[in-house]
Structure 1
């Protein structure tokens, strides 16, 4: 399992925790919104690793979007939930690597 897939699962679990209405809101408010900054960095790292490994990036892109917009009440809850689902789906998929014949490089 690649590091990007592991990070997708970890960030998906974190997003799922933040999607719990009272718990997630308490975490975000209790950390002074720095939890969203941490998640933004985690999603950015996961996105870069996914690009390097030629893996799906939709979960990480949605996670970055979520980190930027999750400060909006109720919208943040929905974004966290969708991000968690997308990250876990993309984390469960096997890596499709493209192998080019030597004469086509």
Structure 2
């Protein structure tokens, strides 16, 4: 498994956690929005690694946008959900490509 694939699984899982309406919101609020900054940096790292491995990085760009506007309660929840879905689908496709090679 390539590093970019592993990073997509991890970032997708983190986004899925943040998309849980009460738990994700409480986690973000209780940590003074630091998880959004952390996720922005984590998505940026995933983007760089994915680009270096010549893999899809659309989910990472979407994740960075989500982290930037994630402080808006309803919009943030919707964006975290969409980003989690996109990243997890992309991770699944990457895993399938890794297994074929």
Compute the TM-score of the two structures, normalised by the length of structure 1. Answer: 0.88
Post-superposition offset of 1:71:
0.3
The gaps in structure 2 that reach 5 residues or longer are none
Q: How many residues align?
A: 96
- Partners of 2:72 and 2:2 lie apart in 1 by 33
Q: Please give the alpha-carbon distance, in whole angstroms, between the structure 2 residues aligned to 1:27 and 1:89.
A: 25
The structure where helix makes up a greater share of residues is 2
Does residue 25 (structure 1) correspond to residue 51 (structure 2)? The answer is no
1:39 is aligned to 2:44? no
Could you say which structure has the larger radius of gyration?
1
Q: CA deviation at 1:74?
A: 0.3
Deviation at 1:17, TM superposition (A): 0.5
Pairing 1:51–2:46 present = no
Residue 73 of structure 1, CA deviation: 1.0
Superposed, 1:1-105 pairs within 5 Å as 1-94=1-94, 95=97
Runs of 4+, deviation exceeding 6 Å: none
Query: Could you give the per-residue CA deviations for residues 36-92 of structure 1, whole angstroms, max 9, x where no partner exists?
Result: 000001000000000001101111010000000000010000000000001011111
TM-score w.r.t. the length of structure 2 is 0.91
User: Which blocks of at least 5 consecutive residues in structure 1 are unaligned?
Assistant: 97-105
